[in-house]
Amino acid sequence: MIEPMLVLIASAFLLAGFIKGVLGLGLPTVSMGLLAVMMPPGQAIAIVIVPAIVTNIWQTFGGPYLRDIMRRLWPLMLGTVAGIWLNAGLLTGPYAPYGTVVLGALLVIYAILGLGKLNFKVARRDEKWIGGIVGLITGVVSAATGVQVIPSVPYLQAIGMEKDELVQALGVFFTVATMALAFTLTVTGLLTAATALPGAVAMAASFAGMFIGQAVRSRMQPEVFRRWFLIAMILFGLYLAGSAFLKIHG
């Protein structure tokens, strides 16, 4: 890995960590989007995976709701793990070049849902079977793109958790999902010793960005930042999907 690439990786994760520090989520989504401009999704997720696991573990134990979260979300997490394992070859298979197109489209969908503030509601009695289906779909999407926000995050917002419990639930879910993804990356040969240095740079930059973002969050309106961040995500996702599609069919 040449030095200019390490600088680009550090810059991408500094920005992604900053956004996570301000909003509480977004590190894998933003970093995968930025890295996909420079490298294939399979190589990008191999760099993203370790910082994502470490920052999510930190978020997992940041509240007192762990037992209730595990009791409510086990079907979502089980479905996600199954979806990832059953589709482990998508990042390296013949359809791998389309992963960047799908990633760009997901960024757009994610941002539009965020801007629209759509209020989906899932009744408590329906959580388990809906959660399992949502998890399975999330696992397939994650296996193809390395991103786990669609449709899991809208589902988590729809089951009616309080703000602090939701933040911890996101940490728990993403920890389980990224660890399952790390296992499949190791099996398919994408996660190797060669990713150790860029992964370490990414992790250091992520925590630096998170601490800066948390400091900024106390001095600004997160909702204003969130709105402009989502607008930029739409434009970036369109560019990513469009340029990748033209490259495939050009």
Q: Are 209 and 18 in contact (CB under 8 A)?
A: yes
pLDDT, one tens digit per residue, over 222-245 is 678 778 878 888 888 898 888 888
Q: State yes or no: pLDDT of 1 exceeds 60.
A: no
The pLDDT score that the predictor gives to residue 43 is 84
Q: State yes or no: pLDDT of 221 exceeds 70.
A: yes
In the chain, the percentage of residues whose pLDDT exceeds 70 is: 97
pLDDT, one tens digit per residue, over 171-197 is 899 999 999 998 988 888 888 878 888
The pLDDT score that the predictor gives to residue 149 is 85
Give the CA count within 13 Å in the CB-facing half-sphere of 52.
Answer: 29
Q: Measured between alpha carbons, how far is 36 from 46 in angstroms, rounded to an integer?
A: 12
Q: Are 41 and 32 in contact (CB under 8 A)?
A: yes
Identify the three-state secondary structure at position 126: helix
Q: Measured between alpha carbons, how far is 205 from 210 in angstroms, rounded to an integer?
A: 9
Residues 6+ apart with CB under 8 A from 170: 24, 25, 59, 153, 156
Which pair of tokens denotes residue 110? Answer: 């994610």
pLDDT, one tens digit per residue, over 9-22 is 999 999 999 888 87
Structural domain count of the chain? 1
Q: Measured between alpha carbons, how far is 155 from 178 in angstroms, rounded to an integer?
A: 18
Residues 6+ apart with CB under 8 A from 210: 17, 18, 20, 21, 27, 55
Q: State yes or no: pLDDT of 250 exceeds 70.
A: no
Q: State yes or no: pLDDT of 147 exceeds 80.
A: yes
The pLDDT score that the predictor gives to residue 25 is 72
The pLDDT score that the predictor gives to residue 97 is 76
Query: Tell me, what amino acid is at 213?
Result: G
pLDDT, one tens digit per residue, over 67-110 is 999 999 999 999 999 999 998 877 777 777 788 888 889 889 88
Higher pLDDT, 217 or 46: 46
Q: Measured between alpha carbons, how far is 60 from 238 in angstroms, rounded to an integer?
A: 32
pLDDT-derived band at 2 (thresholds 50, 70, 90) equals low
Host domain of residue 88:
3-249
Q: Provide the mean pLDDT of the chain.
A: 86
pLDDT, one tens digit per residue, over 20-32 is 887 777 788 888 8
Per-residue DSSP letter, 221 = -
